[in-house]
Structure 1
Amino acid sequence: MTIELPSELLQLEQAALDAQAAATAPSPPEGAWTAWREAAMAVQVAITDHAAATNTSRVDVEMAVKKAVRHPEPDED
């Protein structure tokens, strides 16, 4: 089953990953943990909203988002 994912959802997941990297760096910048928490909450809300809007399992949407961002398919040239 292929789940259509809006680019905004993938961007939110990438922003959460970037915020996590900043927060867990050896010398994280001021406010990095708050930024990570807020980014993670934003992506979770967006996943829940997208699942409800498309009548798709929330877990399936979250897994598809994580796979698309963390393990993207290579470009076919």
Structure 2
Amino acid sequence: MATIEFPDDLIALERSAWAEIQRGELTVDTARAVHEAVTAFAEQAGVSRYDVEMGLKKAVRHSEAAA
């Protein structure tokens, strides 16, 4: 999988969702917003939605481990 450059707004959206997940408060609206943004970005970039989703989660959820 190639490295994908994610826009700041997509990173921020995933960070919000991750924070909600960690608090046990993920809402349907947040989950839907992330899904729709990931899908739109994948279509625009011409890459697999799965690759975008997995790369985004790795960038947000595992960025502390890389630092």
Figure out how many residues of one structure are paired with residues of the other and give that number: 64
Which of the residues 43, 59, 62 maps onto 1:68?
Answer: 59
Structure ID, larger Rg: 1
With structure 2 as the length reference, what TM-score do the two structures score? Answer: 0.84
User: Which secondary structure state, in structure 2, belongs to the residue aligned with residue 46 of structure 1?
Assistant: helix
Q: How does 1:1-77 map to 2 (within 5 A)?
A: 1-22=2-23, 24=24, 32=25, 36-72=27-63, 73-74=66-67
Bigger relative contact order, structure 1 or 2 (CA pairs below 8 A, ≥6 apart): 2
Greater percentage in helix: 2
What percent of counterpart residues are identical? 41
C-alpha RMSD of the superposition? 1.3
Where in structure 1 are there 5+ consecutive unaligned residues? Answer: 25-31
Segments of structure 2 that go 5 or more residues without pairing to the other structure are none
Normalised to the residue count of structure 1, the TM-score between the two structures is: 0.75
